[in-house]
A and B are shown apart, each in its own frame.
Chain A
Amino acid sequence: MNLRPLYMLLAIVLVLWVLIPIFLIATLAFSDRASVFAWPKGLLPQQFSLETISFFFGVEGVWKAIRNSLVVAAMTLVFSVLLGAPAGYALARYRFAGADAYRLLILMTRAFPLAILAIPLAVQFINLGIYDTAFGVALVHTALALPFAVLVTSSLFLGIPKELEEAAWTLGCNRIQAFLRVVLPLALPGLAATAIFAFVISWNEVFAATLLTLRERTLPAFLLTSLNDSPLPFRFAGGFFLIVPALVFIFIIRRYLFTLWGIANR
């Protein structure tokens, strides 16, 4: 019995399951007000219009929230690579006492409810004067992204033969030169993927961002806090806009997805 066609059919059903909701929200985001409230709705777009999406961008505070989100995500990206990559390199290249304990620490932090971090930090950040700042939110987002950064960069550096580095030493490079000239160029695509992943984690995070800000809301925090008193077109356009960058980023880093999650689970 040939099961291939059945497999293919199931696979396509799963593709539709993922794509149809995205298609529906995109349809709503690019239609006019009347179609958003239309009843009953057809599956296909009624009328292409920029009314809903321009209404969203016209709401006061949206651009500021987008700018805040970008700043926080950029800081998270820089912090997690700067903190994570050296640790990843250490795990890949050296055997040292405490390496296993360190690995365990990294894994434990990944399995931590966010509420237990965000609530006390909100209280303490007020005392430290970094409450309601992009920097404060970026610190918490870095804590979320760092475990991934360490584990991914470690597997990345493991994949670059140590012999290349040693050859550079014998040719007169010191350690830092050898790293910058030999290892770094080879590691660059993977490091970029790590950075993008950190960016996405930050861009998507809502709980901590909401608790740690008051006026300097990130986009998800702004959306969440205005959900109850905002009209449906605003919510749909906002939801769609949140998804777009994530889609692009996942496409760019798709080659590294299994390194990100596959290795990270050991």
Chain B
Amino acid sequence: MRSERYIPYLLILPSVVFLLFLFAWPLLEALLLSVRDSGGQWTLENFRRMAADLYFPDALKYTLLLTLVIVPLQVVMALGMALLLGGISRGRDLFLYVWTIPLGISDLAAGIVWLSIFTERGYLNSFLQGIGLIQQPQLWLSYETPWMIFVAVVAAEVWRATAIVFVILVAGLQLIPKEYSEAAEVFGATPWQRFWKVTLPLLMPSLQVALILRTILALEVFAVVVALGGRNLPVLAGEAYYWYNAYQNPGVAAAYAVIILGISVVATLLYLRLMRSKQEGAA
């Protein structure tokens, strides 16, 4: 039986080797790429060029703003949907399926779908004309109206990616024993109180996972923005793409990638810290 001890290591070995090759190594390479020039000399030139670029301040601003608007909207909406599902008796499976359809839709496709709504001769303008607000098609997705591109991106992202949060929260709700809520009811807690004092604190681990995952994904928003606004609404991942593809400069592109990673790590640590203290406060 002695040889048995090696079996699990043998089984995980291929995936560990693979992940070292495709995660650890590129991570290291990205860091090196961002702090070295093409000759291999250490330099901060890439970050300097990034920061001096005309698009950088806007890209940083819009990426952070998009995350700050999209993620809370999605969490509130997904929480509402998860609780709503509990209050529905008939057709539960059908609602579950339709609500999770967006899980299979790519960011690029979602961007194009919402382009058909926000474009000049699109459905939004047709609707506004129908109710008499405008006479002629309005141009929404132009560089003159970045706030409208912003709204379109928020709509597309909320439409597409709320389902991920929803599924995580429903799975979390299923883990909470019904007895807790029933006990609270026996002691006279209103539904509102039961939600805030029982359900929400017990749901904290799932909320934490959903928040971290969605925030990291929101910080690398890319294809939705490209489909709806091109570069008229610059974002960090988009700039990394342009610097690599159009300007052929992997160094500055890597600097952008490092910035995205940096913000993601800070956000994750922040969530872990804030939500732990909240959990302890509730206990």
Contact = CB atoms under 8 A, between A and B. Distances in A.
A99 B23 CA distance: 19
Nearest to A139: B22
A37 B96 CA distance: 35
B87 interface: yes
Given A120-B254, A250-B104, A24 B14 contact: no
Given A14-B99, A120-B30, A122-B244, A207 B237 contact: yes
Contacts of B264: 111, 113
Contact of B18 (A41, A83, A238, A246): A83
Contacts of B109: 204, 239-240, 242-243, 246
B113 A90 contact: no
Contact of B19 (A3, A94, A115, A146): A146
Interface residues of A, number: 93
Contacts of A93: 8
B23 A22 contact: no
Contact of A109 (B19, B129, B254): B19
A259 to B, nearest CB: 9
A24 B113 contact: yes
A25 B113 contact: yes
Interface stretch (A164-172, A184-192, A224-232): A224-232
B206 A19 contact: no
B168 A261 contact: yes
Given A40-B125, A109-B19, A113-B216, A83 B116 contact: no
Contact of B257 (A21, A40, A116, A142): A116
Interface stretch (B50-58, B143-151, B178-186, B222-230): B222-230
B223 to A, nearest CB: 5
B87 A120 contact: no
Contact of B116 (A11, A236, A243, A258): A236
Contacts of B219: 113
Given A111-B212, A113-B257, A265-B168, A246 B105 contact: yes
Contacts of A129: none
A242 B108 CA distance: 9
Contacts of B8: 90, 93-94, 96, 99
14 contacts: A8-B90, A11-B95, A18-B99, A41-B123, A90-B9, A99-B8, A113-B237, A116-B27, A117-B27, A119-B240, A207-B220, A239-B112, A246-B105, A254-B100
Given A21-B113, A24-B116, 20 more contacts: A39-B125, A40-B125, A112-B23, A112-B261, A113-B264, A115-B236, A115-B240, A116-B257, A119-B244, A120-B30, A143-B18, A204-B109, A206-B222, A239-B116, A239-B227, A246-B105, A257-B100, A262-B171, A265-B172, A265-B206
Interface of B: 5, 7-9, 11-12, 14-16, 18-19, 22-23, 25-27, 29-30, 33, 81, 84-85, 87-91, 95-109, 111-117, 119, 121-123, 125-126, 129-130, 137, 159, 164, 167-168, 170-172, 174, 206, 209-210, 212-213, 216, 219-220, 222-223, 226-227, 230, 236-237, 240-241, 244-245, 250, 253-254, 256-258, 260-261, 264, 268
